[in-house]
Structure 1
Amino acid sequence: MLVYAYLIYDVASFSWQVALADSLLTNGILAIGCIILSNMLGYYQPKNERLFSLLLLTAVLTVIVVFATKYSLNYLFNSHTAYQSFLDSSLPFRSIVMFLCLGWCGLANVLWYRLEEQSETQGRFLAAQNLAKEAELNKLRHQLQPHFLFNSLNSVYALTIVNPTEAGTMITKLAAFLRGTLKRDDEVWVSVADEMEYIQLYLDIEKVRFSHRLSLDVKIEEETLGLCLPGTLLQPIVENAIKFGLYNTSAAITITISVKLEKNILVICVANPYDPEMNATKGTGFGLSAIRRRLYLLFADSNLLQTETQNNNLYITTLKIPQKDDKNNTN
């Protein structure tokens, strides 16, 4: 505004009073035009193929602003002949400048509203993605549970015939296990201590099922007890190890579970013996693939669950859970 007043004062050689009055009135009317244009674009946003309508709207507002400015300045300086002559001669230049200002204002508003709309769309898309991810995580968790339940019920049925006392013990432990499962359905993250307590209930049930044939060797480093991992993630891995460790064999086996911390990563290894001739490594079907999918949804890393075989006929499943510095994971 001051630059505009200085140009009138210096180039047109009018007094400071005339220059400031012209600048204030012209810029004030232009500002009103910009406000009107911004409000109109707030209610109506032209599509990409209809940007011509924005130019047309800008041109119409320019005509109105130019007319209002000329009328106001003529009225204000009606007795100033030299100024009125200057006003008439500068009108084309004023019109171009006002059109450019209004056009810039219009484009800036369109870009602002487009960015705002794009941000809202992105927010809705991310919210939908999170809901879809949560739904898939819940689906995977609930798909893994019935597999164990059906096996346990079959074992209970068999025990009721040959050993009713053991069947009663197993039903009690199974009820406690399922009660814990229901409590954990809404928990994405649990501590290692809670997860191992949950796993111990499962192992107690399996020891009832397989009696003297199943031995367990569980090693947990004390510093890992407060760390976090996704709930009900370990049980399908242990179930897979027990199932395929006992595959087509009547001999006693030992399942080894170790929990340790390596470079701020929780590492859980589950090892079970297997017979290569019996193709016991088929345990990488739905259970482990579902766990891989769940880990990928949580961490965007497809290498957090790994399996390997060793020469001493051991099948090892390694689960890695990245930990935050504060050991407080969030989904």
Structure 2
Amino acid sequence: MFLNAFSNPRLGKWIIPGAGIIWLLGCFFLLTNEGLSTEVAFTDSFFFALFFLGGVAVLDRVFSLYSPKEKNLLLVFLVPVALSGLSVYGHRFLLSWWYLEDDIYLELLEKSVYLRWMVLGLAEQLIGVLALVVSKLERQEELRNRESQMLELSKEAELAQLRQQLQPHFLFNSLNSINALVVSQPHKAREMVLLLSDFLRGTIRKDVQTWVTLEEEVNYLKMYLDIERVRFGHRLKVEFSMEKEVEHAKLPPLLIQPLVENAIKHGLYGVTGEVKIEMKCKKEGNYLVLGIQNPFDPDYVGAEGTGFGLSSVERRLYLLFGRKDLLHKSAHEGLFTIQLQIPQFV
């Protein structure tokens, strides 16, 4: 892992050869100061640098495949010592054979065995520690990446589940309304079936991973309202107020529909006469701000619902943006208001 840590195109092709060259030049300088000829000093330094790089490669391989536990940490020191010992004696054997008749060099080679072993051993111990540290850091990074991927997959799965729940939730409500109209107003039931078919055909074909413009979302919202008007007739009035500049703002598909459905449910149930639901859209900084307001009767006690609409939107916002402050609810003087903020990534 130590070598692998520097194997990127910009660093890897320079750092390892550079370390070998520095080792070679350092040994060459020391040997020439001991009175050896340039040729002998360079040959000795060249092969000693090769053994050094070979030891680095072995240590990298060992500690990239095996990470010792606390009780085996002594191996981080013993393996480099043993490896450097083999390197020094291998170097000694090779150069003794190479310069068999050079008594002065052979004497110096014999005297410097333990010094070479100590220097090489310390260097390779340091490299072993670095290789182990880099290996552990890479494993931790890999674990963090895996956890991040698992979290992302979990978020995607939950978002998909919310979207799958949303369609049946709206569909069941519509089917209940159709069922109520079949006997009393069959022509309206047929009209509602046709509108529901058109709405579902458009929404099912949508790519739920791709955000839509506010203009597209409002068009689908109007299709949904056409369905609801079959049921509530003249009682349901919806007023849109949308600034020109926000028509092309982006948002997740079918994010507003549950909020409007919630406004209709709590605005028309328990309230007699015409009900006006207002939706205002504007841009504030880097946010698309949507406000939905409906009247409600605070004293009306209706059948309890599942609360799925608002909770699904809150959960989707949290999964998408990691925030819980993008949806605000307030009730004042018989008016219930929802304000939704959607970050715009320009």
TM-score (norm 1): 0.89
- CA RMSD between the two structures: 2.2
Distance in 1 (alpha carbons) for counterparts of 2:165 and 2:50: 68
Distance in 2 (alpha carbons) for counterparts of 1:48 and 1:186: 50
State the Cα deviation string for residues 50-97 of structure 1 (Å, max 9, x = none). 333343332221221111111122223333333333222222111011
1:68 aligns with 2:93: no
Indicate the residue corresponding to 2:316 in structure 1: 294
> What amino acid is aligned across from residue 217 of structure 2 in structure 1?
E
1:198 aligns with 2:231: no
1:37 aligns with 2:53: no
Indicate the residue corresponding to 2:28 in structure 1: 5
- Give the C-alpha shift of residue 49 in structure 1: 4.0
> What amino acid is aligned across from residue 111 of structure 1 in structure 2?
V
1:324 aligns with 2:345: yes
Residue pair 1:244, 1:283 contacting (<8 A) in 2 also: no
Distance in 2 (alpha carbons) for counterparts of 1:16 and 1:185: 74
> What amino acid is aligned across from residue 60 of structure 2 in structure 1?
S
- Give the C-alpha shift of residue 225 in structure 1: 1.6
1:140 aligns with 2:165: no
Indicate the residue corresponding to 2:180 in structure 1: 158
Distance in 1 (alpha carbons) for counterparts of 2:336 and 2:51: 82
- SS across alignment from 1:315: strand
- SS across alignment from 2:73: helix
Distance in 1 (alpha carbons) for counterparts of 2:171 and 2:272: 23
> What amino acid is aligned across from residue 324 of structure 1 in structure 2?
F
Distance in 1 (alpha carbons) for counterparts of 2:80 and 2:209: 57
State the Cα deviation string for residues 268-325 of structure 1 (Å, max 9, x = none). 1110011222368x889332122111101101111101111233x2111011101012
1:94 aligns with 2:116: yes
Distance in 1 (alpha carbons) for counterparts of 2:265 and 2:48: 86
- SS across alignment from 1:186: coil
Residue pair 2:261, 2:309 contacting (<8 A) in 1 also: no
- SS across alignment from 2:270: coil
Instruction: Specify every segment of 5 or more residues in structure 1 that has no aligned partner in the other structure, as ranges.
Output: 326-331
Distance in 2 (alpha carbons) for counterparts of 1:38 and 1:269: 61
> What amino acid is aligned across from residue 106 of structure 2 in structure 1?
Q
Identity among equivalent positions (%) equals 39
Indicate the residue corresponding to 1:59 in structure 2: 81
> What amino acid is aligned across from residue 138 of structure 2 in structure 1?
E
Distance 1:294 1:169, change over 3 A: same
Alignment of 1:1-331 (within 5 A): 1-10=24-33, 12-184=34-206, 186-278=208-300, 285-311=307-333, 313-325=334-346
Instruction: Specify every segment of 5 or more residues in structure 2 that has no aligned partner in the other structure, as ranges.
Output: 1-23
How many residue pairs align between the two structures? 322
Indicate the residue corresponding to 2:11 in structure 1: none
> What amino acid is aligned across from residue 27 of structure 2 in structure 1?
Y
- Give the C-alpha shift of residue 98 in structure 1: 1.2
